[in-house]
Amino acid sequence: MTYRLLIADRSYSSWSLRGWLSLAAFELPVSLTETRMYLPGFRTDLAAFAPELTGAAAPRTVPILRLPEGGLLTDSLAIAETLAERHPEAGLWPADPVARALARSLVAEMHSGFSALREACPMNLRVAYTDVPVSDAVRADLDRLEALWESCSGLSRGGAPWLFGAYSLADVFFAPVAMRIAGYGLGVGTDAQAYVAAHLAHPLLRDWRARGLAQPEQPAYRRDYTTVDWPS
């Protein structure tokens, strides 16, 4: 029973990263198809992967997950929830009901929020910057992230590196924003920085980044800041 997943540029597509981690981090079998965003073949690749969805129903974004029996999911949160439902033994959500409820709340907020940080600091795993200006709106997003992370027992008690002890979908959904904090050199507190460092050291994320570096660059993602070595 193998899932099929369509992703785009590994260096830039934060939602592709979330979709892939939702499978790879929990050892769920997946076959990957890759495309390139903003290039002429992008829409063609989407249509080829999901030919049954046409017109207004046609997918416009990645990731797209095809279930073994043929159904399609075109949203990362829907992918995560469906996989957790189909594979309860894999531990995608925390086992404790209270922790699981908090994890779902955090994931939903990450899925729909933090627009200032997303706009100012698009994910780019190819380059790191220093002396990046931080607006009041971006600082508010960073403060909110730290408050959310501190609300999780795994981080606040200084134990395991992940938010709820074992790696979960909460960590999947915060992985790209951790990479933004690292790549743009954004200032956060000691506990939050330790959480970012855990993502930087995560073998799956390191492999994802390495494979992205082997793909052609998309110059539109570059920012005119001073560059430094990648933190990891």
97-227 folds as Glutathione S-transferase Yfyf (Class Pi); Chain A, domain 2 (1.20.1050)
- Contact between 171 and 80 (Cβ < 8 Å): no
pLDDT band with cut points at 50, 70 and 90 for residue 123:
very high
Q: Report pLDDT digits (tens) over 50-104.
A: 999 889 888 999 999 999 998 999 999 999 999 999 999 999 999 999 999 999 9
For residue 65, list its beta bridge partners: 5, 73
pLDDT on residue 70: 87
Has residue 38 got a pLDDT over 80? Answer: yes
Of 87, 113, 64, 74, residue with least CA distance to 169 = 87
- Domain boundaries, given as residue ranges, for the chain: 3-90, 97-227
Q: What is the DSSP letter of 153?
A: H
Give phi and psi for 52, each to the nearest 5: -75, -15
Which residues, 6+ apart, have CB-to-CB distance to 132 below 8 Å? 121, 184, 185, 186, 223, 225
Has residue 156 got a pLDDT over 60? Answer: no
- Contact between 14 and 123 (Cβ < 8 Å): yes
Mean pLDDT of 33-57: 93
Of 22-26, 38-42, 65-69, 156-160, which range is least confident? Answer: 156-160
Has residue 229 got a pLDDT over 70? Answer: yes
- Contact between 232 and 201 (Cβ < 8 Å): yes
CATH architecture label of 3-90: 3-Layer(aba) Sandwich (3.40)
